[in-house]
Structures are given as C-alpha cells and as structure tokens.
C-alpha cells in the first residue's frame, strides 16, 4: 500500500496551515522541555562550557570563566562581576535550580541562579567556605550590588549534598537533600527574569558543583 504524499501544490498553503495547526493541537509537535540538566560528564580537562556545549547561553563577558573538569563544573575566574551562563529558557519565572555540591572547602563566590536576567541581576545560592566549610549563602544581586538574603552556617552542607533553590512569585525557598531549609521574600520587584543558570565569579572553585538541573515549579 502506498502512502499518500501531500505537497503545497496539491493542497495549497491554506490547507498546509490547517494541517500544521491540527498536528500541534494533537500533540504532534514536541514542546520545549520543561527540565534542563547537565551532568558535566565526558568533557576534556578544563573544557570551557561555551565552546563545548551550545545549549548554554554565555554572556560573552569572560571567556572560559566556567569549565567542565573532572566530570563536574569549575568556576575559574577571579573577576568579581563574573560571567553568566544561562540554561535554556524556562518560560516561567516560577522555577528552580538544583545541583550537587562538589566542594565545601573552596571559598564561596560563584552562584547557581534563579531569575537570571544577567550576571548583575539574579537570585543566587552558593556553598563553600566562609568562616568554615559547608556554609550555604543566598543572595540577590541587583544592578551589580549583592544583598545577603540568608546564611546557613559552617557544617550545613556536606560533599555531594543536593541543594535546590526555588523562586515562586516574590519568594524564595532553599532545600537541602529534599528538605526545606529556609524561605523568605526576594525583596526586589525587578527580579522577574524567567531565565536560570550559573554565574562564575570571584574565586576559583575546581571542582565547584555537579549535576545541575533547572525547571519550572508546578
């Protein structure tokens, strides 16, 4: 049995448009994935993220600021402003970011970020050493200025723990291994970006994090 073929000549463009709409209505088109993840595995040593994975959207500020190394992510710039790497667009400002902790002893600095408009505007979580190992810190950054939103002290976070930050409406909530640690108000109405991602900055942390994931909070 032969399969009928259609062309614009036999159907006309109006018919094709109807066909396309029907196809989409019945789920024939693949929607944009609601979850994006990157396990950072399988790259050469010190592979810059922007040159090795086109799914990340780099801001062009500092080449090689974020690397794949040792099957994890490494932040490798001393610049305090830093460079942003956005995950694919999340389509909603109500979203989460999560990651596994790959170091608790590097100085805190680089951020895993929600509401990531750009490297100077986001809500970000970071872990590492700040007066002790295993500190967790939450900040908002607006026009480059960092404001502390929350701190969990030394010993809070252990190697390979899973940290998650959710931003929903005007609030944030941070989780450790699936358990809520704290929540509060973002406190700045300008932070409404539907983008998420990573901001490498201020210190070298190698490795830094692993198994990044982001998606919409439903």
**Residues of span 60-89 touching Ca ion by CB under 5 A:** 71
Residue nearest to Ca ion (CB): 71
Out of 59, 195, 210, 213, the only residue in the binding site for Ca ion (CB under 5 A) is: 210
| Residue 66 contacts residue 75 (beta carbons within 8 Å) | yes
Q: Mask: binding to Ca ion, 6-45, rule CB under 5 A, as x and -? A: ---------------------------------xxx----
47 near Ca ion, judged by CB under 5 A: no
Q: What is the DSSP string of 199-211?
A: EE-SSEEEEEEEE
Distance CA 146, CA 140 (A): 6
For residue 72, the minimal CB distance to Ca ion (Å) is 5
Rounded to 10 degrees, the C-alpha dihedral 203/68/94/195 comes to 80
Q: What is the DSSP letter of 65?
A: S
For residue 211, the minimal CB distance to Ca ion (Å) is 6
Alpha helical stretches, state H, the chain: 8-25, 49-52
Q: Which positions touch Ca ion (CB under 5 A)?
A: 39-41, 71, 210
């Amino acid at each position: 049995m032969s399969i009928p073929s259609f062309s614009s000549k036999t159907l006309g463009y109006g018919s094709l448009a109807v066909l396309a709409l029907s196809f989409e209505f019945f789920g024939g088109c693949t929607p944009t994935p609601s979850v994006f993840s990157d396990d950072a595995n399988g790259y050469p040593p010190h592979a810059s993220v922007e040159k090795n994975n086109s799914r990340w959207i780099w801001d062009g500020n500092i080449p090689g600021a974020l690397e794949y190394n040792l099957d994890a992510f490494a932040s490798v710039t001393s610049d305090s402003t830093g460079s942003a790497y956005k995950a694919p667009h999340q389509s909603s400002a109500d979203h989460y970011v999560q990651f596994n902790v790959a170091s608790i002893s590097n100085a805190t600095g680089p951020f895993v970020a929600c509401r990531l408009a750009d490297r100077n505007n986001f809500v970000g979580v970071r872990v590492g050493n700040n007066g002790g190992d295993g500190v967790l810190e939450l900040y908002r950054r607006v026009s480059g200025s960092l404001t502390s939103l929350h701190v969990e002290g030394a010993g809070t976070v252990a190697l390979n723990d899973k940290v998650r930050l959710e931003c929903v409406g005007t609030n944030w909530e941070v989780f450790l291994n699936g358990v809520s640690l704290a929540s509060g108000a973002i406190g700045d109405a300008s932070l409404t970006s539907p983008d998420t991602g990573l901001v490498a900055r201020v210190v070298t942390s190698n490795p830094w994090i692993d198994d990044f994931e982001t998606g919409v909070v439903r």
